[in-house]
Structure 1
Amino acid sequence: MTELDRDLREAVDALRAGQLVGLPTETVYGLAADARNTQAVARIFAAKGRPADHPLIVHLASADQLDDWAREIPEAARRLAAAFWPGPLTLILKRQPDVPDAVTGGQDTVGLRVPAHPVAHAVLSAFGGGLAAPSANRFGRISPTTAAHVREELGDAVAVVLDGGGCEVGIESTIVDLSRGVPVMLRPGRVSASELSRVLGEAVLTPEAPDATAPRASGTLASHYAPNTPVRLLDAAALYVAAAAAARAGQRIGVLSRTLIDDAPAHGSVWLQLPNDPVGYAHRLYCDLRRLDQCGASVLLIEAPPQRAEWRAVNDRLQRAAADRPADGEGLPKP
């Protein structure tokens, strides 16, 4: 038996005992518990400090388990599952009556997905049931993309942390609501609205403003994915001006940029450059945000990505991370 086999067995035993497991997926690391065990699910909420009415996503080993958790499943759901599962897509569907309220936040809907990570698949297959698995971090904070992130943030609250390496996608799954007759994207992710529309043969709605009639879903609150350090989103020119002013004042800042600035004012600051493509940027975003959050900066400056469809998911995460940002100019010296 290999070390991984032993770790997998330990993780499955812990899940069956109602404990929490740090689970790697292709998106981010999840904090997994038996979705049918209300006491185990309660441990997720306690460990994360998560509001009780905020629903969880149930992870399944395959689409064959869909009917165990959802009812009135539309053909659109079958088509999307066939096209994108295993993968970074969550479907919101009418729930079966026996799905615990603790998982759904008391709603008549449930979020379901089949992750693509081989370790997650092995655990789910061996466990045999659904696992509720929100991101393995304190509620509203930066999602973890390595096993070390999970251990640093949640410590002894997690019985087992499986190390599956760095997450390939790096941001959370796309969430599509199929519970109201029309497909609606509630959270953007790696799977885009255009890809969904091509499979369905109809447009997927992508509302810009919050929809009061939509089911509550993971990661859709105004402030989310946030570092402890205040965040400001700026265009490249404004970022350079703010960084230069901070350097003159001897203020320590953290910077995430996409464009290479040869004469960046680095005094008292930490600069990280992310790839100038949305897939590469998403892959590194949370890891680099965590690095900057730990560098002792008074504020984090992020160069805002383009407002184009392919950047929608990244912009969504950054705007939520910066939702509690200081007022313009607050915390920064004047240019």
Structure 2
Amino acid sequence: MEMLSDSEDDLCRAAAALRSGDLVAFPTETVYGLGGDAFNPAALAKIFEAKQRPRFDPLIIHIAEVSVLERVADLTALDAEMRKALDILSAELWPGPLTLVLPKKNSVPDLATSGLPTAAVRLPDHPVALKIIRYSTGAVAAPSANPFGYLSPTRAEHVAEQLGGRVDYIVDGGKVRVGVESTVLDISGRRARILRPGGMPRERIEELIGPVDTAAAEGPLPAAPGQLKSHYAPRTGLYLYSPEAMMAVPWNKSEAFVFFDGKFRDQWIAGNRLEESSGGVPANIRVLSESGSMNEAAANLFDFLHELDNPQYTAIRAVEVPETGLGPAVNDRLRKARAEAKDNPQPYQGQTG
């Protein structure tokens, strides 16, 4: 594994590695992705192997130009209304944290789509990602650069810690901006359906194309990434509470606590009389956003969970956030990270390689 900078020379090296079938982790605005040539089955197989990802979980194909979409998706198979929606969404929300599920071209390897007749595609809003994709093959499959089911990486060091020698190159572009994965919107049928809440708020999508459905997983296998009940999980058990229930949770110095805003944290501290005993805010408490900014909360979520996921804490106790803006995406990640979720087929086993 070699760490690269975001210099032009290093981005050209990363792109050349992708063209050669190697794996390159790089930043997007959402999380770090583990990239491989979307049209190279051998490179795709390396992604699944590196992540220990089950073959039934489809990948997201990243492009750098809307014109490349026709290499990946069969736009002639789209419903007329959904074709209009595609034109609007791609013009208004790309580049951005929105993945669109579309009928796929036969030239896309089945491994990229887990044998589904659809492909998940997005155009990321990050200069490093766009250059790497543009300089390489124009279409890069890039799931989050972490072992399957574990916390998503928001910094290059998270990738190095989790994947180690399983990845050929890591491009260090600093901390990502959005902090949660993209919203996945299926427009392959007659109605638009959100398959996974993410970095693009539902309200913004509906401003442009009208009401959209929310689709639960319809079978044992996912139609899009991030649909399994257990995902994004730390090794330390995470327990999730409503605000009302959280107020009854006592402070414990051997556990970690995650709050949405400073106001609620202060109420909880007062209820536990911590100021009287400790003289301040204990080090095992994190606040996603002091001011209650949902964008800041989303950006800090995985960063804080990485910090708290260490042997000094026996549990992480977190509170749900309001269901506005990126709130559904934050709560989705917290619910799937819960220790109570029992169906993670491959829990994180630690770094290898």
Corresponding residue to 1:41 among 34, 40, 44? 44
SS at match of 1:242: coil
**Distance in 1 between the 2:133 and 2:193 partners?**
28
Instruction: Give how far 1:299 is off.
Output: 0.9
- What is the aligned partner in structure 2 of residue 89 from structure 1? 98
The letter of the residue matching 1:38 is P
**Distance in 1 between the 2:187 and 2:341 partners?**
33
C-alpha RMSD over aligned residues: 2.2
> Does structure 1 retain, via aligned residues, the 8 Å contact 2:28–2:129?
yes
Which residues in structure 2 correspond to 1:17-96 (within 5 Å)? 17-71=20-74, 72-73=77-78, 74-96=83-105
> Does structure 2 retain, via aligned residues, the 8 Å contact 1:243–1:253?
no
- What is the aligned partner in structure 2 of residue 297 from structure 1? 313
> Does structure 2 retain, via aligned residues, the 8 Å contact 1:254–1:301?
yes
> Does structure 1 retain, via aligned residues, the 8 Å contact 2:31–2:153?
yes
- What is the aligned partner in structure 2 of residue 257 from structure 1? 259
Higher mean alpha-carbon deviation, 313-322 vs 268-277, is at 268-277
How many residues get paired? 318
User: Alpha carbons of 1:237 and 1:76: their partners in 2 closer, same or farther (altered >3 Å)?
Assistant: closer
**Distance in 1 between the 2:188 and 2:243 partners?**
41
Residues 185-235 of structure 1: CA distance to partner in whole angstroms, max 9, x if unpaired?
1011122222112211x311124x433499610111100111011111123
Corresponding residue to 2:136 among 114, 127, 130? 127
- What is the aligned partner in structure 1 of residue 297 from structure 2? 281
- What is the aligned partner in structure 2 of residue 146 from structure 1? 155
Higher mean alpha-carbon deviation, 316-325 vs 174-183, is at 316-325
- 1:235 paired to 2:242: yes
Higher mean alpha-carbon deviation, 43-52 vs 260-269, is at 260-269
Higher mean alpha-carbon deviation, 123-132 vs 98-107, is at 123-132
**Distance in 1 between the 2:287 and 2:93 partners?**
31
SS at match of 2:213: coil
Instruction: Give how far 1:43 is off.
Output: 0.6
**Distance in 1 between the 2:52 and 2:303 partners?**
22
**Distance in 2 between the 1:59 and 1:323 partners?**
31
SS at match of 1:115: coil
The letter of the residue matching 2:127 is P
Which residues in structure 2 correspond to 1:188-203 (within 5 Å)? 188-200=197-209, 202-203=210-211
**Distance in 2 between the 1:293 and 1:213 partners?**
29
Corresponding residue to 2:223 among 209, 216, 225? 216
User: Alpha carbons of 1:197 and 1:217: their partners in 2 closer, same or farther (altered >3 Å)?
Assistant: same
TM score, norm. by length of structure 2: 0.85
Residues 55-111 of structure 1: CA distance to partner in whole angstroms, max 9, x if unpaired?
000000111111111012422112111111111000000000111011000010000
**Distance in 1 between the 2:301 and 2:8 partners?**
31
**Distance in 2 between the 1:118 and 1:310 partners?**
23
Higher mean alpha-carbon deviation, 77-86 vs 20-29, is at 77-86
- What is the aligned partner in structure 1 of residue 164 from structure 2? 155
**Distance in 2 between the 1:260 and 1:323 partners?**
22
- What is the aligned partner in structure 1 of residue 113 from structure 2? 104
The letter of the residue matching 1:41 is L
User: Alpha carbons of 1:310 and 1:291: their partners in 2 closer, same or farther (altered >3 Å)?
Assistant: closer
- 1:173 paired to 2:182: yes
Residues 4-26 of structure 1: CA distance to partner in whole angstroms, max 9, x if unpaired?
12211221121111111011000
> Does structure 2 retain, via aligned residues, the 8 Å contact 1:107–1:215?
no
TM score, norm. by length of structure 1: 0.89
**Distance in 1 between the 2:249 and 2:95 partners?**
43
User: Alpha carbons of 1:42 and 1:214: their partners in 2 closer, same or farther (altered >3 Å)?
Assistant: closer
- What is the aligned partner in structure 2 of residue 330 from structure 1? none
**Distance in 2 between the 1:5 and 1:119 partners?**
9
The letter of the residue matching 1:42 is A
**Distance in 2 between the 1:273 and 1:310 partners?**
16
SS at match of 1:179: coil
- 1:187 paired to 2:217: no
- Provide structure 1 residue ranges, at least 5 long, that are not aligned to the other structure: 327-335
Instruction: Give how far 1:270 is off.
Output: 1.1
**Distance in 2 between the 1:189 and 1:87 partners?**
11
**Distance in 2 between the 1:25 and 1:186 partners?**
20
**Distance in 2 between the 1:225 and 1:199 partners?**
30
The letter of the residue matching 2:178 is V
The letter of the residue matching 2:211 is A
> Does structure 2 retain, via aligned residues, the 8 Å contact 1:253–1:269?
no
User: Alpha carbons of 1:102 and 1:273: their partners in 2 closer, same or farther (altered >3 Å)?
Assistant: same
